[in-house]
């Protein structure tokens, strides 16, 4: 296996496209090297993009939203003050990934690019309307993250291509988000099920669902919901969870996974709605520290 550390995006893409079936991008290596050790991948060439100077910065904030570059780590995402204020559900998810050591290496974009339906940051990102930009020798294209996932380990990013940025629009005043996850052991296990909920300024809810289908799924948007009404809340949960197709596996049986997803969904919806109230009254949304 060869290792290449390009300095420009163009060089990275040329290297990837020269061996499209066997070259692999590497950032933190927390998925790739584990897969290599388990004989699930056997790359001929590792293209390390951490020193590519013309890729977007890890986190760039403007009036319209936040752009994440390929070197943004989970630690950067979880601790960035603007991410915590604007996108508390994403900061919560990033803070739950693995352990401190994993979060210092694991990159946000690769968490989605790896194509795992259990990736923790994908559910809040799809709920928040994130999009990705993909570069190849043919040029660049942008896609909604909800359309990026094609199946387990399969995404719109084809061999020879590179995801160069991930963009999340700035939530309007009065909008917010929250993330909930169930896992067997913190730090070393993937989600049994997870949900990221975004609530817009009118009270409409959208959910990203993790580990309850072959890809990260999207539920909603609902009509505006008064979460203090038990009937409205139950109806909203039905709509948000409708796409989920949980199965039984080593982490949980099917009935347990389905039941826990509903519990997590209720918690996330209520917390996102409470944060929305705080934002309406001019107070800063706070994420929970683990």
Encoded tokens for 22: 């066997």
Residue with smaller CB distance to ligand FAD, 34 or 284 = 34
**Coil, helix or strand at residue 237:** helix
Q: Pick the stretch among 22-30, 142-150, 199-207, 233-241 that binds ligand FAD (CB under 6 A).
A: 22-30
Provide, rounded to whole angstroms, the least separation between the CB of residue 68 and ligand FAD. Answer: 10
- DSSP 8-state symbol, 22: T
Cβ neighbour number for residue 19 with a 10 Å cutoff: 16
76 binds ligand FAD (CB under 6 A): no
Smallest gap from Cβ 251 to ligand FAD, in A, equals 12
By CB under 6 A, residue 28 contacts ligand FAD: yes
Binds ligand FAD by CB under 6 A, chosen from 58, 65, 88, 98:
98
Query: What residue has token string 């999207």?
Result: 218
**Pair 209, 261: CB distance under 8 Å:** yes
25 binds ligand FAD (CB under 6 A): yes
Could you tell me which stretch among 96-104, 217-225, 255-263, 282-290 binds ligand FAD (CB under 6 A)?
Answer: 96-104
User: If 0-12 CB within 10 Å is exposed, 13-18 middle and 19+ buried, where does residue 276 land?
Assistant: buried
Q: Which of 12, 13, 15, 27 binds ligand FAD (CB under 6 A)?
A: 27
Q: Could you tell me the sign of the dihedral formed by the alpha carbons of 183, 184, 185, 191, in that order?
A: negative
Q: Is 126 in the site for ligand FAD (CB under 6 A)?
A: no
- C-alpha dihedral, 264 to 270 to 275 to 281, nearest 10°: 180
By Cβ distance, which residue is nearest to ligand FAD?
A: 28
* β-pair partners for 68: 59, 166
Nearer to ligand FAD, 184 or 283 (CB): 184
**Can you list the alpha helix ranges (DSSP code H) found in 117-219?**
122-127
User: Which residue ranges make up the site for ligand FAD (CB under 6 A)?
Assistant: 24-32, 34, 70, 97-98, 102, 105-107, 109-111, 113-114, 119-120, 157, 162-163, 188, 190
């Amino acid at each position: 296996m060869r290792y290449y550390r390009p300095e420009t995006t163009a060089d990275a893409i040329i290297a990837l496209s020269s061996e499209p079936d066997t070259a692999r991008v590497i950032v933190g290596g927390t998925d790739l090297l584990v897969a290599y050790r388990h004989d699930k991948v056997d790359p001929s060439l590792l293209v390390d993009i951490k020193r590519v100077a013309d890729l977007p910065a890890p986190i760039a904030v403007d009036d319209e939203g936040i752009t994440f570059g390929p070197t943004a780590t989970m630690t950067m995402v979880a601790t960035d003050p603007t991410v915590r204020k604007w996108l508390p559900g994403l900061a919560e998810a990033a803070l739950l990934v693995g352990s401190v050591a994993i979060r210092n290496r694991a990159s946000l974009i690769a968490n989605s690019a790896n194509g795992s339906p259990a990736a923790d940051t994908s559910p809040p990102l799809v709920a928040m309307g994130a999009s990705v930009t993909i570069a190849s020798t043919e040029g660049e294209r942008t896609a909604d993250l909800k359309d990026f996932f094609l199946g387990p380990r399969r995404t719109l990013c084809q061999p020879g291509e590179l995801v160069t940025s991930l963009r999340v629009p700035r939530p309007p005043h009065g909008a917010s988000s929250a993330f909930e996850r169930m896992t067997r052991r913190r730090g070393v296990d993937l989600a049994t099920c997870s949900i990221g909920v975004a609530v817009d300024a009118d009270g409409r809810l959208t959910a990203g669902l993790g580990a309850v289908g072959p890809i990260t799924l999207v539920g909603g948007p609902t009509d505006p919901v008064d979460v203090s009404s038990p009937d409205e809340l139950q109806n909203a949960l039905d709509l948000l969870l409708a796409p989920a197709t949980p199965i039984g596996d080593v982490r949980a049986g099917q009935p347990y996974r389905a039941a826990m997803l509903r519990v997590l969904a209720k918690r996330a919806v209520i917390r996102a709605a409470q944060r929305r109230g705080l934002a309406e009254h001019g107070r800063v949304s706070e994420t929970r520290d683990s």
